[in-house]
């Protein structure tokens, strides 16, 4: 039911909003909560999974990998790089331009 892949326009919008929020210093869980309240059901579900994973202390990229039928593989891989380098906001903003 929730296996529809994220569209490129949705990926660009998400990366832009999330990257901008992180760059501005917004709380990660608040950003994810906001993301979980918008978009189609598959997107809201995937964002709820990210939020729940973050609450458990998991890396976003790990949760994205678990939801790989929704998140584009490049987004998952680059999120892992952003987390490892401490530059997640920069990576997300670059992905927003890419998508």
pLDDT tens for the 99 residues of the chain, in order: 455 899 999 999 999 999 999 999 999 999 999 999 988 999 999 999 999 999 999 999 999 999 999 999 999 999 999 999 999 999 999 999 999
pLDDT of residue 1: 44
pLDDT of residue 50: 97
Tell me which residue has tokens 């678990």: 66
pLDDT of residue 3: 53
The token duo for 62 is 């790990």
* Residues 6+ away with beta carbon under 8 Å from 6: 14, 42, 43, 46, 70, 71, 72, 75
Burial (CB count within 10 angstroms: exposed 0-12, middle 13-18, buried 19+), residue 8? exposed
Taking the C-alpha atoms of residue 87 and residue 79, their distance in angstroms, rounded to an integer, is 9
pLDDT of residue 76: 98
């Amino acid at each position: 039911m929730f296996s529809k892949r994220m569209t490129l326009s949705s990926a660009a919008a998400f990366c832009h909003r999330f990257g901008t929020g992180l760059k501005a210093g917004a709380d990660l869980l608040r950003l994810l909560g906001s993301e979980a309240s918008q978009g189609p059901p598959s997107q809201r579900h995937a964002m709820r999974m990210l939020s729940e994973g973050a609450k458990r202390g998991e890396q976003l990229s790990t949760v994205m990998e678990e939801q790989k039928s929704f998140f584009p593989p490049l987004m998952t891989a680059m999120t892992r790089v952003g987390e490892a380098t401490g530059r997640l906001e920069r990576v997300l903003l670059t992905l927003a331009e890419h998508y």
